[in-house]
Amino acid sequence: MSNIVNEIERRRTFAIISHPDAGKTTLTEKFLLYGGAIREAGTVKSRKSSKHAVSDWMEIEKQRGISVTSSVMQFKYNDFCINILDTPGHQDFSEDTYRTLMAADNAVMVIDGAKGVEAQTRKLFHVCALRETPIFTFVNKVDREIRDPYELLEELENELGIKTYPMNWPIGCGMNFKGVFDRVSREVLVFSGGKHGQEQVAVDRIGIDEEDKLIEYIGPAFYEKLMEDIELLDYAGDEFDVEAVRDGKLSPIFFGSALTNFGVEPFLIEFLKQTATPTPRQSDKGEIDIYEEPFSAFVFKIQANMNKAHRDRIAFMRICSGKFEKGIEVNHVQGGKKVRLSQPQQFMAQDREIIEEAYAGDIIGVFDPGIFNIGDTLCKNPNKFTFEGIPSFAPEHFARVKPIDTMKRKQFIKGVTQISQEGAIQVFKRPNIGVEEIIVGVVGVLQFEVLEYRMKNEYNVDIKLEQLAFSNIRWIEESPVAVDKLSLTSDTRLVKDIKDRSILLFQSEWGIGFALEHNPGLVLSSIGKA
């Protein structure tokens, strides 16, 4: 038993989020480097660099038997066992990206110091904020010209609505980057360039009281500026409060340079100090104890294998309590059956391996013969419970979809329904019209092409996609009148999703404002609550 406790206690699970190009791949690679999971940087390939046509992308999926979009990596650092959940860049940005955040306990947000908060960071941040996920910010690329650090903090606070606490402070930037002042140890970590970041670097540390030595290293002008900054930060800034960090109310900020490894290890050390053991999850029977409760998990992602001959799928699950052992028999609560979890896998960078055991906080992928749905609960305990479901996130692109050959309507409906159950697309229907019109919504536009490809290859149906001008979706939570009697702009459309929830599709923010203004008592939500 105590072995289980030890194993769970040393686990930390985080998602890494950023706008493309901020340095997520580079930082991830450096974590793996410091964790000893790889010996030399440059081995984790950036997906983004290979701009595949959709068909190539599908080929890759087939060859690997698993999505290129589903990197889950595990590495050890000191005595900790750390799971990183990667969130894909804009090429294959999809609803999965959001769902992945539901499986994480913490988020590491990488910001490009020259650019600040960008569109994709903003979207991912808001999904993290839904669950009050603790967010650790890494302001990257200080070895280049970056924006004024005070301005960056202000932007983070204003745009994202979170308090910040700089854990360190940059001294110069770009050509004049000298290092950072570590506010915890009250030392200056001197930047020496490093070997292009391929290997771990040792850092010189100089105590803030060693004035002469500091001036020698960073020069008198930077020394003076640093003293001013320290005074300002210490007296004018917010207090550091680790509980506020754990509640997702305060984001610790770290300045660094992933490329040169500078600041990566101090970040990791502080991150491990400030994070707690895996976060207990809520169920319909209350909070599930991560140690006491035997194995339990929820499915947050389903990946079709794309292998026509087998049609097998992989269900990714987040373990919420206890220990997983290969071949374990568990209750699949929603399916009402016992299932044996076979071929359990864990993922290391882009390889996967069969595992014997895993613990609360870990992510595993298991073979799914087509029985699991997103949000399903699995538990060893015969006194079953269900974890809180996973919400539906707002798609941003919409299209009317139909089979080119009308005789294939049945196959078409089957395919669209199955693909939507995997969570790759959302399907909406217009109530009260003759032949049912199918509207598909996706978060990333690539999913349309994936849908077209899969419908043809797996269901033998050619489809016609006609993109629609809708850009905003709102689930109706409360309506003062019957939903079809709402007063709306003529370009707003009422639809239902597969759970029969009523939804409004808007062509602009303005349409949303109109609806709220003209229907007092109308309550709209940008996520479909589970």
Residue closer to ligand GDP (CB basis): 193 or 370:
193
Q: Are 529 and 475 in contact (CB under 8 A)?
A: yes
Whether 504 contacts 485, CB under 8 Å: no
62/144 with CB nearer ligand GDP: 144
Binding mask 206-245 for ligand GDP (x = CB under 6 A): ----------------------------------------
CB of 187 to ligand GDP, least distance (A): 21
Smallest gap from residue 261 Cβ to ligand GDP (A) = 9
We find the least distance from the C-beta atom of residue 178 to ligand GDP, in angstroms, to be 15
CA distance 145 to 259: 14
118 in contact with ligand GDP (CB under 6 A): no
Asked if 258 interacts with ligand GDP (CB under 6 A), we say yes
155 is an interface residue for ligand GDP by CB under 6 A: no
Residue position matching structure tokens 């033998």: 460
- Site for ligand GDP contains 143 (CB under 6 A): yes
Please say which residue, 23 or 322, places its beta carbon nearer to ligand GDP: 23
Q: Are 369 and 418 in contact (CB under 8 A)?
A: no
**Which span sits near ligand GDP by CB under 6 A: 17-25, 55-63, 174-182, 285-293?**
17-25
Q: Which amino acid is at 99?
A: R
| Residue 123 sits in the site that holds ligand GDP (CB under 6 A) | no
Q: Using CB under 6 A, which of the segments 136-144, 179-187, 377-385, 449-457 binds ligand GDP?
A: 136-144
Work out whether 25 is an interface residue with ligand GDP (CB under 6 A): yes
- Considering only 253, 259, 290, 304, the residue that binds ligand GDP (CB under 6 A) is 259
Residue 376, CB half-sphere, CA atoms under 13 Å: how many? 25
Tokens of 90: 């804009």
Identify whether the C-beta of residue 22 lies closer than 8 Å to the C-beta of residue 111: yes
Q: Determine the Cα–Cα distance for residues 184 and 416; give it in Å rounded to an integer.
A: 54
Out of 5, 10, 21, 64, which residue is the one contacting ligand GDP (CB under 6 A)? Answer: 21
Exposure of 264 by Cβ count < 10 A (0-12 exposed, 13-18 middle, 19+ buried)?
buried
Cβ(425)–Cβ(445) under 8 Å?
Answer: no
Q: Is residue 294 part of an annotated ligand binding site?
A: no
22 binds ligand GDP (CB under 6 A): yes
Q: What is the C-alpha to C-alpha distance for residues 421 and 35, in angstroms, rounded to an integer?
A: 37
CA distance 34 to 40: 10
* Residue 26 near ligand GDP by CB under 6 A: yes
* 139 vs 153: CA distance, rounded Å: 10
- CB closer to ligand GDP, 199 vs 509: 199
Q: Is 257 in the site for ligand GDP (CB under 6 A)?
A: yes
Report CA-CA distances (Å) from 435 to 326, 353, 401, 429: 48, 47, 13, 10
The dihedral over CA atoms of 135, 76, 38, 263, expressed in degrees to the nearest 10, equals 40
Tally helices (H) and strands (E) across the chain.
13, 33
Q: What angle do CA 44, 46, 50 make, to 5 degrees?
A: 135
Please give the helix or strand (H or E) that residue 468 lies within, else none. strand 463-468
Of the candidates 10, 48, 249, 400, which one interacts with ligand GDP according to CB under 6 A?
48
- Note the residue count of the chain: 530
Determine, following the binding rule CB under 6 A, whether residue 30 of this chain makes contact with ligand GDP: no
**129 annotated as ligand-binding:** no
**Nearer of residues 97 and 283 to ligand GDP, judged by Cβ:** 97
241 is in an annotated binding site: no
- Write down the least CB distance from residue 22 to ligand GDP, Å: 4
Query: What does the block give as tokens for 438?
Result: 């199918």
Q: Is 23 marked as binding a ligand?
A: yes
> Number of residues in contact with ligand GDP, rule: CB under 6 A?
18
How many angstroms separate the first and last alpha carbons of the chain?
34
Question: Does 12 participate in binding ligand GDP (rule CB under 6 A)?
Answer: no
Applying CB under 6 A, does 18 fall inside the site for ligand GDP?
yes
Q: Does 147 bind ligand GDP (CB under 6 A)?
A: no
Residue 425's identity, in one-letter code, is: I
Residue 164 annotated as lining a ligand binding site: no
CB nearer ligand GDP, residue 138 or residue 324:
138
Q: Is 18 annotated as a binding residue?
A: yes
Ligand-binding annotation for 86, yes or no, is yes
| Residue 71 within binding range of ligand GDP, rule CB under 6 A | no
Asked whether position 144 contacts ligand GDP by CB under 6 A, the answer is yes
By the 8 A CB rule, do 455 and 462 touch?
yes
Q: Does the protein bind ligand GDP through residue 141 (CB under 6 A)?
A: yes
Count of beta carbons in the 10 Å neighbourhood of residue 361: 26
494 burial type by CB count under 10 A (0-12 exposed, 13-18 middle, 19+ buried): middle
Q: Is 140 in the site for ligand GDP (CB under 6 A)?
A: yes
| Residue 92 binds to ligand GDP (criterion: CB under 6 A) | no
Q: Does 474 bind ligand GDP (CB under 6 A)?
A: no
Task: Give min distance, CB of 485 to ligand GDP, in A.
Answer: 47
Alpha-carbon Rg of the chain, whole angstroms? Answer: 25
According to the annotation, is 201 in a ligand binding site? no
Q: Residues at the annotated binding site for GTP?
A: 18-25, 86-90, 140-143
Residues forming contacts to ligand GDP in the complex (CB under 6 A) are 18, 20-26, 46, 48, 89, 140-141, 143-144, 257-259
